[in-house]
Amino acid sequence: MTNEINNQIPKEIERFNVTFRIQHVLMLVTFLLLSFTGWALKYPEVEHAKWWVNIWGGPDMAGKIHRVAGVTMLLDFFWHVVYLGYLIGTGKMGFSLKTTIIPLPQDMIDAARNFAYFFGLTKERPKFGRFSYIHKFDYWAVFWGMFIIGSSGFILAFPVFMSKFFPGFTLNWVWPLLRILHSDEALLAIVFILFWHFFNEHLKWGKFPMSWTWITGKISTEEMKHEHPLEYEMRFGKESDK
Amino acid sequence: MRKAFLFFIPLISLISLMFLWASAYAADECLICHSAMSGKVKTAKGDVVDVHVDAGAFEGSVHGSFECTGCHVNFTSGPHTPPGGKLDRQITALVPFTSKKSKSSPAALAACVNCHKPIYDDLKASVHGENIFAKKEADAPLCLDCHGNPHYIVPKADPRSRVNHANMLETCGRCHENEEIVNKYGLSPYVIEKYKESFHGKKYILGHKRVPICNDCHGAHLITKVDAPNSPVSGEGKVKTCGKCHRGATAKFAAAPAHKYIGKDNPIPYYGEKMLIVLLLGVFLFIFSHVILESVAEIRDRVFRKEDHHHDE
């Protein structure tokens, strides 16, 4: 019996389809471009700011790259949302508590349990589904970033046009506020990607120096069993665990 | 015919060149000494004057073809004859004001008007000019305060020019960053710092070539107070000024503060930033501690709990 089931288990399975992978690559490229071309403007008075911005063709060209990359990223984001709507609408994407990316109360419990495990209070790691609270945090941070950085960036890029939509009483504070939002949230996004996304998806033991999933879309069943046990059980049954 | 032509062309060129030499010679005559002299002398009035003129730099300047006496109008000939000669009425009228500012030769300072009359008139009508010509102040800016030494003036496009786009912030800052002058005239304080903090200012610091610098919005020779009726940076004037770069700018767009400190008087961005910093620090604390604690736990497991560990299977 065990053998039969084991025979049905492939060595690896597709975790992200090609559309998601393209969306991710677009996000990755535009994110890097935006970070690189915007960075000098955040700290223009530091010694190497001029040198850095000149690598990107000078402040004028850096600004142009930043705007094009920004609009591309927003379009990529809308594509993702529309694509999700299509998958759900056509029934190609079902819903299960074990595979959903939507934050659930269970995620809070998982996080608390994981910290307990870090501190040695429990020997058992929490069992994650397709997306752990770590992945969910990573994923929804992009939505937050799109909302705050994307919208403020779009308004700042087209100020004459966008100024028409702001009521008179906002005009004294809305522009400095947008600039602060764009700049500080961008710093947050960069640090977040470096320390949360890179560490958890690429630099961790077993994945270092890079996970290939973002290119191949595949995850080994072995990794799935350890990282996403609930999803594994859902697909292949508990039997196959031992 | 052809031969005659070949003869006359060089001859005419030579003769015209000689005229050029003649005029250059007049400058050379002074420069024989003044380019070699170094140091400073005390004039009869008690001013200390630098007597050195760098001949090469002078010839390379926009005024390099001028005779010395073109501007030093009260010197006629000969190096050691005392200043004399009749002055133009236009210059005489300016001398009482320029003498407040010039160390050695107020007439030479007034002589700019000979060629730059419209600009001189603009300056007189400006708030800078008001301080010189109405209030007779010595520290208000006249030509040289912004344009630098007249012997070495280079075109505005030259990066060495004090009024070049890249140097303008420093040039204006010489007074507008000077606390004494700011207090004396009741100028808006910290304007240079505020500009540097602004979006335009940050791009300027990075070397952006087209970003507006002081004079692009505030004007130059005809500069006014911010709240003057004809000010280019308030009311209708500001809308027009913004529109120079931001096509289709409206009063609503122009209402945006160009360079203002974000203080408690503007609570939404002020406290907004404070809240953002709390959010950032909160997120950083969570992600850093998560990464570090997980790493420590992983090492602990690998070293002390080998039997429980599944990752290596």
Which position has the higher pLDDT, A221 or B5?
Answer: A221
Residue B148 within a domain: yes
Residue B163 within a domain: no
Question: Which residues on adjacent β-strands are paired with residue A12?
Answer: A220
The string of pLDDT tens digits covering residues A124-144 is 899 999 999 999 999 999 999
Pick the last residue of a domain from B153, B168, B201: B153
Residue A241 pLDDT level (bands cut at 50, 70, 90) = very low
Which of A160, A194, A199, A227 is the mutation pick for testing B, counting most B CBs within 10 A?
A: A160
Q: Do B250 and A160 touch (CB under 8 A)?
A: yes
Q: What is the ipTM of this complex?
A: 0.91
Predicted pLDDT of residue B103: 64
User: Which residues have C-beta within 8 Å of that of residue B299, sequence separation ≥ 6?
Assistant: none
Q: Do A188 and B210 touch (CB under 8 A)?
A: no
Q: Do B208 and A60 touch (CB under 8 A)?
A: yes
Which residue, among B244, B247, B225, B235, has the nearest Cα to B130 in the 3D structure?
Answer: B225
Which residue, among A138, A139, A148, A157, has the nearest Cα to A70 in the 3D structure?
Answer: A157
Q: Tokens representing B54?
A: 């760098």
As a whole number of angstroms, the distance between CA B142 and CA B129 comes to 8
The pairing of beta strand A12-14 with beta strand A218-220? antiparallel
Chain B residues lying within 8 Å of A145, measured CB to CB: none
Of the candidates B206, B291, B311, the beta carbon closest to that of A49 is on B206
Q: Is A178 in contact with A155 (CB distance < 8 Å)?
A: yes
Indicate the residue type of A120.
G
Domain count, chain B: 2
As a whole number of angstroms, the distance between CA A33 and CA A159 comes to 22
Exposed/middle/buried for residue B172 (C-beta within 10 Å: 0-12, 13-18, 19+): buried
The string of pLDDT tens digits covering residues A72-121 is 999 999 999 999 999 999 999 989 998 999 999 999 999 999 999 999 99
As a whole number of angstroms, the distance between CA B260 and CA B194 comes to 6
The alpha carbon of residue B64 is apart from the nearest alpha carbon of chain A, in Å, by: 35
Predicted pLDDT of residue A1: 43
Q: Is A89 in contact with A57 (CB distance < 8 Å)?
A: no
Exposed/middle/buried for residue A50 (C-beta within 10 Å: 0-12, 13-18, 19+): middle
Residue B305 within a domain: no
Q: Do B311 and A226 touch (CB under 8 A)?
A: yes
Q: Tokens representing B238?
A: 């500001």
Q: Give the position of tokens 């040695």.
A: A120
3-class secondary structure, A205: coil
Q: Do B256 and A185 touch (CB under 8 A)?
A: no
Model confidence at A156: pLDDT above 60: yes
Q: Is the peptide bond before A159 cis (omega within 30 degrees of 0)?
A: no
Predicted pLDDT of residue A242: 45
Which position has the higher pLDDT, B40 or A185?
Answer: A185
Residue B8 within a domain: no
Is B264 in the A-facing interface, judged by CB distances under 8 Å?
A: no
Predicted pLDDT of residue A161: 96
DSSP A98-140: TT--S--HHHHHHHHHHHHHHTTS-SSPPPP-SS-HHHHHHHH
- Calculate ∠ Cα B223-B227-B230, nearest 5°: 55
- In a structure prediction context, what are the per-residue pLDDT tens digits for chain B, which is 313 residues long? 566 666 666 666 666 555 555 444 456 778 888 888 888 888 776 778 888 999 999 999 999 988 888 888 877 666 556 666 677 888 888 888 888 887 677 888 899 999 999 999 999 999 999 999 999 888 999 999 999 999 999 999 999 999 999 999 999 999 999 999 999 999 999 999 999 999 999 999 999 999 999 999 999 999 999 999 999 999 999 999 999 999 999 999 999 999 988 888 889 999 999 999 999 999 999 999 999 999 999 999 888 876 554 544 3
- The fraction of chain A above a pLDDT of 90, given in percent, is 83
Which DSSP category does B165 fall into? Answer: G
* Percent of chain B as helix, strand, coil, to the nearest 5: 55, 0, 40
Q: For A201, which residue in chain B has the nearest alpha carbon? A: B291
Which DSSP category does A83 fall into? Answer: H
Pick the last residue of a domain from B153, B181, B204: B153
Residue B126 within a domain: yes
Of the candidates B257, B305, B310, the beta carbon closest to that of A172 is on B257
Domain ranges (residues) in chain A = 17-94
Chain A residues lying within 8 Å of B262, measured CB to CB: 176, 180
As a whole number of angstroms, the distance between CA A139 and CA A197 comes to 9
Chain A residues lying within 8 Å of B307, measured CB to CB: none
Pick the last residue of a domain from B153, B184, B203: B153
Please give the residue range of the domain that contains residue B53: 21-79+93-153
Which DSSP category does A43 fall into? Answer: S
Q: For B197, which residue in chain A has the nearest alpha carbon? A: A44
